């Protein structure tokens, strides 16, 4: 069995988003189970045309010459082409290798309002957002999704968005993202809250940093960095001297256990983003028994396992969760949910089951 992941990124070479994290995690675990895995992605940073990452054979093409990816789809000649979020690559793989199995997992289907938010709070520029939209969300991509052998969604909120966006009937089947679920954790003795995300404008990290000013009795840890180095530097200069705030920068969870250790001691994960699909950080934090304090509520993670700061009332939410240790029971509830639906073995086994069933057909 040979699986080829089609993605706009993988978690390496300066690109550290959720699609890439899922692609690398699932690919690595499949390799460990004896599956031949490759990935075809746009080249980033110092990435070479061919690399091996955690046993995954990674083929890169120049982003400015995306049509050249067609020869890579032919070259790898996989049994299954699995898109981790639809893109123009999904279309190219489908038309280049029409007799192969084509699967799609929708991870962050964006509607018109989502794209409006992306343009109003761009990571780099509005022009870059428009380029992304043209590559990831056009008629040809829609055609490829509708003509895939099977479509999945990594969350229930995305399941509904994908159903509407791609006019799918029946809707995509839920297919979870795997995370490590530790049996036990040892929380910090002092109240500790964390932020785990890119420091890009859509994530609004400044709201978390302002919260640290309001709660000097609480330890705050803000993991991440921004693509905009000047803005990143200005935030660190403004807030870096707060005695209750740690700014460790970007943490590579594939090369170190530092992020897992952060989740272990944290009581609460704070998410200040203007919009999200279902963030990997939600699942990872809940797996480590953290309550969720968030201004978005995908799959009702915030309302079920923490506090939904619908009006950006993060201070009220933090007080609520800390009062009488409410965070603890909510964290336990989140842990039980994630353990049931997102644990590594269950999710990877489900992927293998799907692949075998599709090849048998």
pLDDT tens profile 159-207: 999 999 999 999 999 999 999 999 899 999 999 999 999 999 999 999 9
Report residue 312 as tokens. 């950006």
Distance CA 328, CA 90 (A): 42
Are 54 and 18 a contacting pair, CB within 8 Å? no
- Residue range(s) of every CATH 3.40.50.2000 domain in the chain: 2-178+343-360, 192-341
On the question of pLDDT at 36 being above 90, the answer is yes
Report, as an integer, the average pLDDT of 102-116.
94
Beta-strand ranges (E) seen in the chain are 2-6, 36-42, 50-53, 56-61, 80-84, 101-106, 150-153, 173-174, 192-196, 219-223, 245-249, 268-271, 291-294, 306-308
Q: For residue 65, what pLDDT is reported?
A: 85
Q: For residue 133, what pLDDT is reported?
A: 84
Which three-class secondary structure state does DSSP give residue 138? coil
C-alpha angle 118-121-126 in degrees, rounded to nearest 5: 70
Are 41 and 7 a contacting pair, CB within 8 Å? yes
Are 315 and 329 a contacting pair, CB within 8 Å? no
Are 276 and 206 a contacting pair, CB within 8 Å? no
Q: Which residue shows structure tokens 């933090």?
A: 318
pLDDT-based confidence at residue 63 (cuts at 50, 70, 90): confident
| Kind plus residue range of the DSSP H or E element containing 71 | helix 69-76
Are 321 and 285 a contacting pair, CB within 8 Å? no
On the question of pLDDT at 17 being above 90, the answer is no
On the question of pLDDT at 43 being above 90, the answer is yes
User: Pairing relation of β-strands 101-106 and 2-6?
Assistant: unpaired
Beta sheet of 219-223, edge-to-edge order: 245-249, 219-223, 192-196, 268-271, 291-294, 306-308
Q: For residue 150, what pLDDT is reported?
A: 97
Distance CA 200, CA 224 (A): 9
pLDDT-based confidence at residue 122 (cuts at 50, 70, 90): confident
Domain 192-341, CATH number (from 1.10.10.10, 3.40.50.2000, 3.90.180.10, 3.40.640.10): 3.40.50.2000
C-alpha angle 141-5-282 in degrees, rounded to nearest 5: 90
pLDDT-based confidence at residue 232 (cuts at 50, 70, 90): very high
Percent of the chain with pLDDT over 90: 86
On the question of pLDDT at 57 being above 90, the answer is yes
Mean per-residue pLDDT over the chain, rounded? 94
Spatial CB neighbours of 254, under 8 Å, sequence gap ≥ 6: 11, 12, 24, 54
On the question of pLDDT at 219 being above 90, the answer is yes
Beta sheet of 56-61, edge-to-edge order: 50-53, 56-61, 36-42, 2-6, 80-84, 101-106, 150-153, 173-174
For 220-257, where are the alpha helices, taking DSSP H only? 229-239
User: Worst-scoring range by mean pLDDT, 8-22, 192-206, 241-255?
Assistant: 8-22
On the question of pLDDT at 18 being above 90, the answer is no
Q: For residue 352, what pLDDT is reported?
A: 97
Tell me the angle at which helices 205-214 and 314-322 cross, rounded to the nearest 10 degrees.
60
Q: Which residues of 53-70 are buried (b: 16+ CB within 10 A; e: fewer)?
A: bbebbbbbbeeeeeeebb
Are 74 and 97 a contacting pair, CB within 8 Å? yes
Helix, strand and coil content of the chain, in percent to the nearest 5, comes to 45, 20, 35
On the question of pLDDT at 67 being above 90, the answer is no
On the question of pLDDT at 128 being above 90, the answer is no
On the question of pLDDT at 227 being above 90, the answer is no
Domain 2-178+343-360, CATH number (from 3.20.20.300, 3.40.50.2000, 3.40.50.620, 3.40.50.300): 3.40.50.2000
Report, as an integer, the average pLDDT of 257-275.
95
């Amino acid at each position: 069995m040979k699986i080829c992941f089609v993605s706009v990124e993988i978690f390496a070479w300066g690109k550290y988003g959720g699609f890439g994290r899922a692609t690398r995690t699932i690919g690595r675990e499949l390799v460990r189970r004896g599956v031949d895995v490759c990935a075809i992605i746009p080249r980033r940073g110092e990435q070479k045309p061919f690399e091996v990452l955690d046993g995954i054979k990674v083929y890169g093409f120049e982003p400015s010459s995306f049509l050249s990816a067609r020869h890579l789809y032919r070259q790898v000649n996989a049994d299954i082409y699995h898109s981790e979020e639809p893109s123009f690559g999904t279309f190219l793989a489908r038309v280049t290798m029409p007799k192969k199995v084509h699967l799609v997992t929708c991870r962050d289907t964006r509607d018109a309002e989502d794209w409006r938010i992306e343009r109003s709070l761009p990571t780099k520029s509005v022009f870059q957002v428009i380029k992304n939209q043209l590559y990831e969300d056009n008629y040809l991509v829609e055609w490829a999704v509708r003509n895939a052998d099977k479509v999945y969604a990594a969350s229930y909120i995305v399941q509904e968005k994908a159903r509407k966006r791609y006019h799918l009937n029946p809707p995509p089947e839920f297919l979870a993202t795997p995370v490590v679920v530790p049996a036990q954790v040892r929380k910090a003795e002092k109240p500790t809250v964390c932020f785990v995300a890119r420091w890009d404008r859509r994530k609004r990290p400044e709201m978390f940093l302002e919260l640290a000013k309001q709660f000097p009795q609480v330890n705050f840890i803000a993991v991440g960095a921004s693509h905009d180095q000047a803005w990143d530097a200005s935030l660190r200069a403004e807030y870096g001297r707060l005695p209750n705030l740690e700014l460790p920068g970007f943490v590579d969870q594939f090369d170190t256990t530092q992020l897992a250790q952060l989740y272990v001691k944290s009581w609460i994960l704070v998410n200040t983003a203007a919009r999200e699909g279902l963030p990997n950080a939600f699942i990872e934090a809940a797996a480590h028994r953290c309550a969720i304090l968030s201004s978005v509520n995908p799959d009702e993670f915030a309302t079920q396992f923490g506090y939904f700061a619908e009006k950006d009332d993060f201070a009220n939410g933090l007080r609520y969760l800390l009062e009488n240790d409410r965070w603890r029971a909510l964290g336990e509830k989140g842990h039980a949910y994630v353990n049931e639906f997102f644990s590594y073995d269950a999710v990877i086994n489900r992927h293998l089951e799907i692949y075998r069933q599709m090849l048998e057909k």
